[in-house]
Amino acid sequence: MEFVISHLAKSYGKHQVLIDVDYTFEEGKIYGLLGRNGAGKTTLFNCLNSDTDFENGSFYFNDEGQKKEVSAGDIGYVLSTPTVPDFLTGREFLRFFMDIHKDEIKNPKTIDEYMDYVRIPADTRDRLMKDYSHGTKNKMQMLINIVAAPKLILLDEPLTSLDVVVAEEMKEVLRKQKDGRILIFSTHILDIAVDLCDEIVLLNHGRLEAVDRENLDNGDFKERIIEALKDADDT
């Protein structure tokens, strides 16, 4: 399975954010979407998630040569600022989600098994989520996507504001989610992309371009990436 973005373009007034986004993502990989703040990473995700209209282009799944349209259930979206219902406990939220989607969830586990998987502490599960830390709310948001198991998961800088321990736990969870799906992980931090992702894609001047990982250990190559991102920020 592949996820194909074909010549996607998006403008806000006279400002072109995405000029010609054209790229093919392969199943079984985490892709690092690298770009400066304001480069258009969130705009791209919002277009793919049908939260924002775009002027030109398309995107679809290519499954063994067959072009398939993207449905709402095919995409999971993990926001940089987690949004969870504060008036529910973690256990209530997960139970509610599983009840709504019971006909779609394959090989369901128990609530505690799911919470164990993302390391939600046992003494936290029956507390209101309004009292959860940012990292625990982020885990709950990620857990919903694990339960739903969409083909494509978009992750909008989910690790940036997490402490070191939670960030490493989240990386471990994400690596386990690669089989049978595609993950696109946006970040403006090169070291996170290098550590977590199988492939790195640079969003630069409204276009996507692949970064050869073999060159990433070369200090001069990293400097060229940083300079390219600086140039993108200045335009």
Segment 41-47 mean pLDDT? 94
For the chain, how many residues are written? 235
**Predicted confidence (pLDDT) per residue in 6-16, tens digit:** 999 999 988 89
CATH code of the domain in which 13 resides = 3.40.50.300
Chain mean pLDDT for the chain? 89
Q: Which residue has the higher pLDDT, 231 or 195?
A: 195
**Residue 234: per-residue pLDDT:** 44
Domain that holds residue 127: 2-234
- The sign of the dihedral angle between the CA atoms of 72, 62, 144, 202 is negative
State the number of CA atoms in the 13 A half-sphere of 176 facing the CB. 12
State the number of CA atoms in the 13 A half-sphere of 61 facing the CB. 18
What distance in Å separates the CA atoms of residue 157 and residue 142, rounded to the nearest whole number? 12
Segment among 97-101, 105-109, 111-115, 151-155 with least mean pLDDT: 105-109
Sorting pLDDT into bands at 50, 70 and 90, what band is 227? low
pTM for the model: 0.89
Segment 1-29 mean pLDDT? 95
Query: Which amino acid belongs to residue 95?
Result: R
**How many structural domains compose the chain?**
1
Largest CA distance in the chain: 53
**Predicted confidence (pLDDT) per residue in 186-201, tens digit:** 988 888 888 899 999 9
State the number of CA atoms in the 13 A half-sphere of 188 facing the CB. 14
**Predicted confidence (pLDDT) per residue in 138-163, tens digit:** 899 999 999 999 999 999 988 877 78
Structure tokens at 127: 């507390």
Contact residues for 40 (Cβ-Cβ < 8 A; gap 6+): 10, 17, 18, 203, 206
Assign 203 to helix, strand or coil: strand
Strands of the sheet containing 2-12, edge to edge, are 15-26, 2-12, 56-63, 66-68
